[in-house]
Amino acid sequence: MRRKDIILYCLLTIVVLGLMILGLFLGSVDIRSFDENSLYIIKHLRLPRVIMCVLSGAGLAVCGAAYQAIFRNPLSDPYTLGISSGAALGAATAIVLGLDVFFFSIGGFAFSFALLTVWIIIRISSVGNRLHITTLLLAGISINFLIAAIISIIMVVNQDSMDKIIFWTMGSLSGSKFSDIAIVFPFVLIGIIIIRIYARELNALLTGNDTARSLGVNVERTKKLILFFSTLMIGVIVSYCGVIGFVGLIVPHIIRLLVGSDNRRIIPFSIFGGMIFMLVADIISRTAIAPSELPIGSITAVVGAPFFIYLLYNAKKKLNQ
């Protein structure tokens, strides 16, 4: 590892810790003194929330980088491809069926539906052995439409579950508990490690399937493995944090501008980038209209959607293939 990178990682760690501490003290209730009440809020409400923020940010950003390489599409992100929405539909289904009492059942449903979404968009957009870039995005966007419609129907039919379900469609970190973190953490950790291990293969995949194969990459196996673990991460993150869009789009792009296109550097730096982006978004969501809260998904979308349009505008020549 380059010495310069180590210094950067240290600096980024300090920034992340600083923002986490800031996140502990900012919010609808002002922390003026360390009385029992404030300590309770910090320890049991804000600390798990801040940690969940960091976990989901890292996971979403790394997934975005992985999807961009696997689908060979700079506009890929768990949200733009409809995969997060698929996971949300899975979670909503589990709740409506009354399965949310079982440990892991929401996460399991979220993951299965997310994987099903991946399969569907690949089926729709494959032309021969290539993924058609424009069709891939259209497939993702149409799946988002479809799922939004299904979720609203589910909500209207099951009025009593509405509050629970609405949480998935907008994204929220407010209910995070330490027990949730204990589940999310290992999935995010394993996912990131696997994706980092295959970072060099992801570089090769960016140059196309045939080329990657001729360079010695086991293309099919690598793609399946990366898709499985990144989608697993998405399933778990969505089932605890809801749909938070565009993090996986914005962060790897900014990191790429800063450190270049090598995924061996993009992935570690995206971990920090995702953490910082989510911490800032979370702080804004809690302070902008305090004492009320904005859904965090709306904050990331306000930044992310224009960025998506900007990339689409820049890429339109290439998309026209």
Nearer to other proteins, 15 or 319 (CB): 319
Residue 130, beta-bridge partner list: 127
Establish if 256 lies at the interface with other proteins (CB under 8 A): yes
Q: State the nearest-atom distance from the C-beta of 207 to other proteins, in Å.
A: 7
**Closer Cβ to other proteins, 2 or 123, answer by number:** 2
Q: Would you count residue 6 as binding other proteins (CB under 8 A)?
A: no
Q: How far apart are CA 49 and CA 37, in angstroms?
A: 17
Residues 65-94 that bind other proteins (CB under 8 A): 72-74
- Least distance between other proteins and beta carbon 8 (Å): 17
> Going residue by residue from 209 to 238, which x/- string records binding to other proteins, judged by CB under 8 A?
xxx-xxxxxxx-------------------
Long-range contacts made by residues 296-299, C-beta under 8 angstroms, separation at least 24? 296/171, 296/172, 296/173, 296/241, 296/244, 297/169, 297/170, 297/171, 297/172, 297/242, 297/243, 297/244, 297/245, 298/170, 298/171
**E strand or H helix that includes residue 131:** strand 130-131
Closer to other proteins by CB, 44 or 318: give it: 318
**Residue 34: what residue type?**
F
Closest CA to 250 of 228, 214, 278: 278
Which residues ranging from 30 to 49 are in contact with other proteins (CB under 8 A)? none
Determine contact, residues 76/60, Cβ cutoff 8 Å: no
Shortest Å distance, C-beta 203 to other proteins: 7
Residues at the interface with other proteins (CB under 8 A): 1, 72-74, 197-198, 200-201, 203-204, 206-211, 213-219, 256, 260-262
